[in-house]
Structure 1
Amino acid sequence: MMTPHRLRFVAAVALLPLALAACKGQEAAAPPEAPAVQPPASAASAVEPAAQNGAHPPSVTREFRDWTATCDNTNHCVAFGSAEENMGFVMVSLAPGPDARPVVHMGGWGLQDGQGDVYAEIDGRRYAGKNSKMDEEGDVIAFRTPSAELLRDLGNGSFMALRRGDEKMKVSLGGAAAAFLWIDERQGRLGTTTALIRRGEKPASSVPAAPAAPRVTLAAAVPQNGLPQDDLSPALLAHPKVKECLAATRIGERFEPNVEVARLASDKLLWSVPCGEGAYNFTQVYFITPADGTAPRLIDFPTAMGRQDELVNSRYDPKTRTLFAFGKGRGIGDCGRMGVWAWTGERFALLEEKEMPSCTAVPQDLWPSTWRAVT
């Protein structure tokens, strides 16, 4: 059964084709805005609190020439590279544990004028997977059980292109082998039959088991009747952070758009305060107060790479007790960062985070995970 926060990710993915059709042409060369959460200057505390006691490995992203690799706190790993002009991508995903096997996705925009299916060509060898449409101009090829030859060529090939008929997009393989090797080391696969790049005779059973995801317990849902209807309480208006936000977003005597209020418990309110806006990114800060709006406490949200007191394009859903944020790297939504937090009754705990640092037409459902938990 799909959990509520995963339903929110699906909803965001469903909206992507509409944004692509409207925005792709004029925004392809636009510089990205900051994602929803920026990593701290120091990596000393770059993990969720649960990871700091050794229970879970930290989420790490590394760059290897033209390729990037990310492994989350449960050792789910993804390596990806981009096609020319950032119009396409190649992505290799590998879950942790002895039974996991890699999955390969490729695709992008710009091959719609060719005839037939999109396929990959590496050093003259053709690889055809399952084709599907990303939108009216984009295609994705999936290799659910990629051959050893395909993985070998991705790691060791010299020339790769995505092709459809006479149309083609070149893909750099520079750094792919190093990214694969780093994932093999991270997951304990070196020298095993399941390694991405450096296979050996050791059996799959020698690969370490996947780390268990941290568990988060949701608070009980509470009625939302009787919420404040006016603007911020005097105590909130006097808070330094609210004054900072008000100076940036105030129109007349009120915020625009209006503040949102939800009930977390009979004696706790959650306030969402607008705190900046751009072309497609709208920033919010959140406070918890008693039912009378006094003694506001600014919420500091945990992320995979630190903590943050400002979220982007966010909203709390009292039915699921989850808060979703999506900071877009550009308006079409093919890069940026997504996060989902759950209210436990005492705090907001990070449930899921995904980040795509490169704007290369990767569909949101394929973005690398940087944090995952279970409820």
Structure 2
Amino acid sequence: MTFRMIAGLALLTAVSAGAVHAAEPRFGEFGDWRVNCSQALNCVMEQFVSGAPLDQIALRRDAGPETAVTIAVWPDVRDERQADGPWRAVMTVDGGRAIEIAAPDIYFDAVDQAFVLSGPAIDSAFIDEVRNGETLRIEVQDGDLKTAHDFSLRGVAASLLFIDEVQGRIDRVDALSARGDLPPADAIALKDIRRFSDLPEAIRDDFGDTGRCAGTDESSLDGDAIVHAISANETLYLLPCGMSGAYNMPYALYLDSFGNLGPMPLPVMLDKGPSTSFFLYNAGYNFETGVLDAFFKGRGLGDCGQLQSWVLTRSVSGSVFVLTEERVQDCDGSEPVAPENWPALWPVQQGQ
């Protein structure tokens, strides 16, 4: 999930009060803001303003105890950016006190083409001002060029509460909105990877021009590339791998077992019998249950293609995925059927 979100995501207007599971992203829309939380419960709330000098803003908070809030803003004219700085930003809520951000707490992200603001000035007191305010003005100075815009804060309070609930911070001391006296929650065993440079060096070449995952867009990692610390000795990586199509994103699995890191094969069923594959599509992973799902769409409607599910299991040689379900529906123009009712390749049905 990059700061600059992909349009067309399904949006939910509320999140239930039940337990949070990091199986799939969570979305919300409140006033002038959209919120997107990744599988690792890292959340971004954003606003788009067409034609403004700063045409997008995003507030980001990662999961984990007492993590900081960062703010990113995008200049409308990007070909005039001076990527070497010096940079400076000033933020005010409803014309109140000025919050100044200078180096090293501001930089230009060349991948997202955004200015990123961080540091101790973006504290709980400032977040309270934003939560209770009506307008946030941000002025960015890039060399001799100054760019500013007044962003609406309509929906910010609900957005911050949404993030607190998704991240399990309600009534905790590190909440953004629903602050209380409870201590911060423990960190979860799932993390995001946002840049190729964050990948283990042993597999970084796989994402180069001639690697097995060549063509992977670096921006696709953020929110879709995850790391699960299975145990003290094993770490699982689920990573976008290759060029994404119109409605299918390829993924690959890697397993670091006792210091040995390499591609992890998945069991699959073919017409002639069982086999293995190093690739899956449109993956979703629930680290709490160990369930891994994939759904290859034969076409955009999703009325045909391939549905697969595995569960993480401990074997004598280490962690493996066991195939629990595989269904295939031909794109032959037949009457649409729910994917759970597609013909099963596994488990084998009686009479097959």
Q: Normalising by structure 1, what TM-score?
A: 0.42
Indicate the structure whose relative CO is greater, using CA pairs within 8 Å and at least 6 residues apart. Answer: 1
More strand by share: 2
Q: Normalising by structure 2, what TM-score?
A: 0.44
